[in-house]
């Protein structure tokens, strides 16, 4: 393939070596190789359908591309130093296989619409992979919740004890977060699933191309409606990367709690030693490295989003070489989130809850104070007055170093004559969770129904 550059005819000399090295993107975009071949096969079939290739030419190109796809799958494809990008590499190899007929493949196509097709095919598969990984993590969380269905723990506001909740209710909160992530990615797929082939360099083509035919072959439900937008649109990458950033937020939040709760001060969790390391200096240490690393890698995903937005913010229409820089931050973020989802699921399945420490913690901090206030509200006491009364009760109990449930009825009546024997039914952490009634609350019966719902959803 002598001097078969995709664009060499206009130039009377080769690029400077430094310029060629600086602009080479193969190390980044080679992961798009199989998508590039799949897109090219569909393009060749469309060219035949449009009468721009005869059957013999089309078959020759498709066979050659299919062989290249096999080489890529087996890892035997050899990239050459002269390959500028993945498109160049595939076309160069096709020339080696079938000769000058390979030159007809680029009819009606530009690298501008070709690369965005590759990216859309990649992102479509990525969303499917993310869906599987998120579901796997959700299943691990569900196993965790079902292992400790009745365990009562403190909920926290401002990192202070607030009210009693079920541990399973806490786990279910993360199932909800990750479900929203799935829903967002599923919604983004609608905007990913737009076929750009036919837009060419940005103004379309005078050839009788059949973009709807290519779209159908590749499983796209719709095609572009503006050729300039088609080749320059990277909104779908930004949208999915923003979704990945939110997945990372949720991963980081649960990992933060796991790190905190595995500390000696909490002692709620025992993370398996398989996912911890020791200290080079302190022999007693068991460090929760995997949750810490997942938490730490969140910044990389955020950085990718900011990088991509910055690349796009000043670009005039339509295609600009700046867009070559869209892939590295996106791929890095995608890899990070996929890896984090996978390993966290494994960590959770081997993390044990220290039931004694959690139950003991649930009985400290006057978590049933709110229930005591609502006891008075049910007797027609304005909430602000009930709040004041119970605040005084808590202050008294703290001075006596007693729990609210350890105060006698006579002692409680010193603060309000409305307290009666039934007050015992609202005090204690276990009574508190049983008395929750509102939808979505930590009431054990409602939580059990949620566990059943999630088991059915995740099985489906």
Domain architecture of the chain: domains with CATH:
8-107 (1.10.275.10), 119-150+164-196+225-360 (1.20.200.10), 363-459 (1.10.40.30)
Q: How sure is the predictor about 288, in pLDDT bands with cuts at 50, 70 and 90?
A: very high
Q: How sure is the predictor about 6, in pLDDT bands with cuts at 50, 70 and 90?
A: low
pLDDT of 4 > 60? The answer is no
Structure tokens at 87: 């498109």
pLDDT of residue 67: 97
pLDDT of residue 267: 96
Q: Which backbone phi and psi does 155 adopt, to 5 degrees?
A: -90, 160
- In angstroms, rounded to a whole number, what is the distance separating the alpha carbons of residues 335 and 183? 20
pLDDT of residue 3: 42
pLDDT of 90 > 50? The answer is yes
In the block, tokens 């070489």 appear at 321
Per residue in 317-373, pLDDT (tens digit) is 999 988 999 999 999 999 999 999 999 999 999 999 999 999 999 999 999 999 999
pLDDT of 279 > 90? The answer is no
pLDDT of residue 12: 66
Task: Specify the range with the lowest mean pLDDT, choosing from 280-284, 310-314, 410-414, 426-430.
Answer: 280-284
Report H helices in 401-443: 409-413, 429-435
Task: Specify the range with the lowest mean pLDDT, choosing from 12-26, 39-53, 213-227, 281-295.
Answer: 12-26
Q: Is 113 exposed, middle or buried (0-12, 13-18, 19+ CB in 10 A)?
A: buried
Per residue in 13-36, pLDDT (tens digit) is 777 778 877 777 888 889 999 999
Task: Specify the range with the lowest mean pLDDT, choosing from 5-9, 54-58, 79-83, 179-183.
Answer: 5-9
| C-beta of residue 72 within 8 angstroms of C-beta of residue 105 | no
Provide the b/e sequence for 163-194 (b: ≥16 CB within 10 Å).
bbbbbbbbbbebbebbbebbebbeebbeebbb
pLDDT of residue 120: 98
List the end-to-end C-alpha distance of the chain, in Å, as a whole number: 52
Find the mean pLDDT for residues 162-182: 98
- Looking at the annotation, which residues are catalytic? 158, 279
Per residue in 195-233, pLDDT (tens digit) is 999 999 999 999 999 999 999 999 999 999 999 999 999
Find the mean pLDDT for residues 119-132: 98
Per residue in 61-81, pLDDT (tens digit) is 999 999 999 999 999 999 998
Query: Any idea what DSSP says for residue 148?
Result: S
- In angstroms, rounded to a whole number, what is the distance separating the alpha carbons of residues 65 and 323? 26
- In angstroms, rounded to a whole number, what is the distance separating the alpha carbons of residues 41 and 218? 10
Of 154, 71, 195, 134, residue with least CA distance to 344: 134
């Amino acid at each position: 393939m002598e001097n078969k550059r995709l664009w060499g005819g206009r130039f009377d000399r080769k690029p400077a070596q430094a310029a060629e090295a600086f602009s080479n993107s193969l190390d980044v975009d080679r992961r798009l190789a199989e998508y590039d071949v799949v897109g090219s096969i569909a393009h060749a079939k469309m060219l035949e359908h449009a009468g721009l290739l005869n059957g013999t030419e089309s078959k020759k190109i498709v066979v050659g591309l299919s062989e290249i796809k096999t080489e890529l799958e087996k890892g035997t494809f050899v990239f050459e130093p002269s390959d500028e990008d993945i498109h160049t590499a595939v076309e160069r190899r096709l020339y080696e296989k079938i000769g000058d007929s390979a030159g007809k493949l680029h009819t009606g196509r530009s690298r501008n619409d070709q690369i965005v097709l590759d990216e859309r095919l990649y992102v479509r598969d990525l969303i499917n992979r993310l869906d599987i990984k998120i579901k796997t993590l959700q299943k691990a969380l569900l196993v965790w919740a079902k292992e400790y269905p009745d365990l009562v723990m403190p909920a926290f506001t401002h990192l202070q004890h607030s009210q009693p909740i079920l541990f399973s209710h806490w786990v279910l909160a993360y199932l909800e977060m990750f479900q929203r992530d799935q829903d967002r990615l599923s919604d983004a797929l609608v905007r990913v699933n737009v076929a750009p082939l036919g837009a060419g360099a940005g103004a379309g083509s005078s050839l009788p191309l059949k973009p709807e035919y290519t779209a159908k072959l590749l499983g796209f439900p719709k095609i572009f409606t503006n050729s300039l937008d088609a080749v320059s649109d990277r909104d779908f990458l930004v949208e999915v990367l923003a979704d990945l950033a939110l997945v990372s937020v949720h991963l980081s939040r649960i990992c933060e709690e796991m790190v905190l709760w595995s500390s000696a001060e909490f002692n709620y969790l025992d993370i398996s030693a398989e996912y911890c390391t020791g200290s080079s200096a302190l022999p007693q240490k068991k460090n929760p490295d995997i949750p810490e690393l997942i938490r730490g890698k969140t910044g990389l995903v955020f950085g990718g989003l900011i990088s991509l937005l910055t690349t796009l913010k000043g670009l005039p229409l339509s295609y600009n070489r700046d867009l070559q820089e869209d892939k590295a931050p996106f791929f890095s973020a995608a890899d990070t989130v996929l890896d984090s989802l996978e390993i966290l699921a494994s960590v959770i399945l081997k993390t044990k809850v220290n039931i004694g420490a959690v139950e003991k913690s649930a009985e400290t901090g006057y978590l049933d104070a709110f229930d005591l206030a609502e006891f008075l509200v049910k007797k027609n006491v304005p909430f602000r007055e009930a709040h004041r009364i119970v605040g005084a009760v808590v202050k008294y109990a703290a001075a006596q170093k007693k729990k609210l449930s350890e105060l006698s009825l006579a002692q409680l009546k010193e603060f309000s004559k409305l307290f009666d024997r039934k007050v015992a039914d609202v005090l204690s952490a276990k009574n508190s969770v049983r008395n929750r009634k509102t939808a979505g609350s930590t009431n054990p019966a409602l939580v059990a129904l949620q566990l059943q719902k999630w088991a059915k959803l995740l099985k489906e």
